[in-house]
Amino acid sequence: MKSKSLLVDEQFSKFNCAQTVFSLFAPELGIEEKTALKIASGFGGGMACAET
């Protein structure tokens, strides 16, 4: 099994930072990856723009 840090490197090019991290921990929380990506989608841009 790959470490979470290696998986982050692989997924970061496809999703924003919040989606990447949350989706990797989603199975441990009983959440499907697809659902986790939707939940976290709004958090990726706001932090960089200081709009949260």
Among the ranges 4-13, 15-24, 27-36, which has the highest mean pLDDT value?
27-36
- CB distance 30 to 8 below 8 Å: no
Taking alpha carbons only, the member of 12, 35, 34 closest to residue 4 is: 12
pLDDT band of residue 5 (cuts 50, 70, 90) is: low
pTM of the complete model: 0.66
**Residue 3: left (phi > 0), alpha (psi -120 to 50), or beta?**
beta
Distance from C-alpha of 34 to C-alpha of 28, rounded to nearest angstrom: 14
* pLDDT over 60 at 27, yes or no: yes
Q: What pLDDT does residue 52 have?
A: 57
Distance from C-alpha of 45 to C-alpha of 10, rounded to nearest angstrom: 19
Domain chopping of the chain, boundaries: 4-45
Q: What pLDDT does residue 6 have?
A: 67
Query: What is the amino acid identity at position 21?
Result: V
